[in-house]
Amino acid sequence: MNFVEHLDAHVDTDLDTIAAPGDAPVTFANQADLKIARERNKLDRRLMREMGRAVTDFNMIEEGDKVMVCLSGGKDSYGMLDLLLKLRQRAPINFEIIAVNLDQKQPGFPEHVLPEYLTRIGVPFHIETQDTYSIVTRVIEPGKTTCSLCSRLRRGILYRVAGELGATKIALGHHRDDILATFFLNLFYGGTMKGMPAKLVSDDGRHTVIRPLAYAKEEDLIAYSNWKQFPIIPCNLCGSQENLKRQEVGKLIDEWEAKFPGRVENIFNAMSRVAPSHLMDRDLFDFVNLRPTGTPDPEGDMAFDQVDPVNPNEPEKAGAADDCGSTPADGPQPIRFTRLVSR
């Protein structure tokens, strides 16, 4: 049984489950409160299922793992920790959790917040203090983006700490929208089709990094944070920087979500449905030695055609995409490029 099946088998449908363990059952004074409770219950179940699916799809957590949860003090890492704790209670395997925060000595950073919170909820933790703030502000010119250098410094420190703590997995709180934004940043500004993987091995080959929130939407994590009232710590170094490319891409994604419902979800799903034979990367597909074999090739020109590869002469199913990538509909049909070539 995988994580998703296990969660489904133990799903709670009673609104009393909104109460914390040991608390009295929740009662509702009016219909408005009941509606809010139902929405929160659905939110909790949705996020839990998405995390369970991500963990299962990418084999993120295994029996006996020690998961180092990187806690920044932002909504995403708080949500990730909270959901992982629930997942551990219901999971078909045993694994440990230890929360780690990197205190980068940013001015005004409330050092007491995370230790008090983690002590209260009973989670083992480690606070690593390293003055990367001074390094970043010394090296980066005023007005320039600090994210890249800050990220590299932070990553190196976290890898070291993971080794010292004996952690087998490093959990980061990036969500679906972060993954999409990274994909478009690399596409628009780097000229590469490269995203943010749900699971990877560090460059030195020593650590496994996982992103359990890979399927979760940011709007759901915002709602979850507002519900749980996590003690959020703002990032004074980079969180308030304006005109960042990531913010521009984020705005573009938000506009698509508002104007074209379903487009963003389709793009995200497409990242899991790649057809190398229909791209142009010679390292991913051997175009040089590509020759006709006389038999249908599932990786060939039929990659997106809705036809039976065993009976290629059968007509396409209703609704299949034409050569222009459009779906037949009432009214004038688009000109096929094959017709233009044949003339």
Query: Is residue 343 domain-resident?
Result: no
Averaged pLDDT, 182-210? 94
- What is the model's pLDDT at position 192? 95
- What is the model's pLDDT at position 145? 72
Q: Is the pLDDT of residue 105 over 60?
A: yes
Query: Is residue 253 domain-resident?
Result: yes
Query: Is residue 170 domain-resident?
Result: yes
pLDDT more than 90, % of the chain:
59
- What is the model's pLDDT at position 296? 82
- What is the model's pLDDT at position 293? 86
User: The domain containing residue 132 runs over which residues?
Assistant: 3-270
Query: Is residue 228 domain-resident?
Result: yes
- Quote the tokens at residue 198: 């749900």
Summary mean pLDDT of the chain: 83
Query: Is residue 55 domain-resident?
Result: yes
Q: Is the pLDDT of residue 161 over 80?
A: yes
Name the least confident of 24-28, 147-151, 159-163: 24-28
- What is the model's pLDDT at position 325? 44
pLDDT grade for 337, boundaries at 50, 70 and 90: very low
- What is the model's pLDDT at position 253? 94
Query: Is residue 310 domain-resident?
Result: no
pTM: 0.80
CATH of the domain at 213: 3.40.50.620
Averaged pLDDT, 80-96? 96
Query: Is residue 334 domain-resident?
Result: no
- What is the model's pLDDT at position 188? 94
147 assigned ligand-binding residue = yes
150 assigned ligand-binding residue = yes
Averaged pLDDT, 168-186? 96
Q: Is 234 or 251 the better-scoring residue by pLDDT? A: 251
Instruction: Give the separation between CA 153 and CA 165, rounded to whole angstroms.
Output: 19
Number of domains in the chain: 1
- What is the model's pLDDT at position 3? 65
Query: Is residue 251 domain-resident?
Result: yes
